[in-house]
Amino acid sequence: MKNTISFQGELGSYSHQACLDLYSDHDVKPCPTFESAIDSVNQGVSQLAMLPIENSTYGRVADIHLLLPSSKLTIVKEYFLRVRINLLALPGTSLSQIKSAISHTVLLGQCQNFLLHNKIKSVVGPDTAGSAKRVSSQQDRSVAALASELAGEIYGLKSLASDIEDMTNNTTRFLIMAKDQNFNRKKLNKEQCMTTLVFEVRNLPAALYKALGGFATNGVNMLKLESYMVGGSFTATQFYLDIEGHPETISVKRALEELKYFTSSVSILGVYEKHPYRPMG
């Protein structure tokens, strides 16, 4: 029996593409929301969840940072997917016939130069693959979708133009989540690890500065720091942090000890291997 990996979106989405790239031997389970993709793993329907966390052009993916701490899942891997945008239309359609392009608002914003040059109007759709599915069903030759090549294959559309994104390094980072905290612990090279954690600082003057000072004094590289409100309060701020290193190495262990002294809570969301997209130490 095959294992299953869940993702948010329709078949043909970039999350679906990431699943195929990493886990071609798994069944895939499309889910309507990020919450349902996470729930699928917690309920044992899926063994893994593929979740986009940030894009090099657009920035962080909304809601994900809030969902991770309460997900009850562990980050077991990261993956960087080069986002290649295609203009997908009904077979037999020419580029000159296209008057509007439908897609998720994020993707529309990532290929404005192409759309403006070809005088194509942007239309906000539900998501990338869902937009391709709509174009396929509506049979309107004046409307195209902005989506992946995979979406074109699934919904029987022709690519009129490929790699039309404004930024040629357009990349999305995904986190792969599992319920089993020891999913990959035995395979890890402690010298090539990432650790992701969330924390809340204590109500002290310069608490954040002091909390992070341990990473500098112990030579631990911080790669990402995000802050966001929790519980609808302007006073409770949670921080998401990606660092290089394994919690069991001396430098990281010391840095975490200093962090805990100035925080009210610290939770490690995952320890996993750095993806080759990142420079290896």
Q: Give the residue numbers marked as catalytic.
A: 172, 174
CB 122 within 8 A of CB 146: no
Q: Which residues pair with 145 in a beta bridge?
A: 88, 102
> Which amino acid is it at 40?
S
Task: Report the half-sphere exposure of 87 (CA within 13 A, side-chain side).
Answer: 26
Helix (H, G, I), strand (E, B) or coil at 191: helix
Task: Quickly count: other Cβ atoms within 10 Å of residue 57's Cβ.
Answer: 17
Degrees to nearest 5, angle at CA 198 with 193 and 200 = 145
CB 101 within 8 A of CB 122: yes
Class of residue 210 by CB neighbours under 10 A (exposed 0-12, middle 13-18, buried 19+): middle
What is the C-alpha separation between 66 and 228, in angstroms, rounded?
8
H helix count then E strand count, the chain: 9, 15
Helix (H, G, I), strand (E, B) or coil at 272: strand
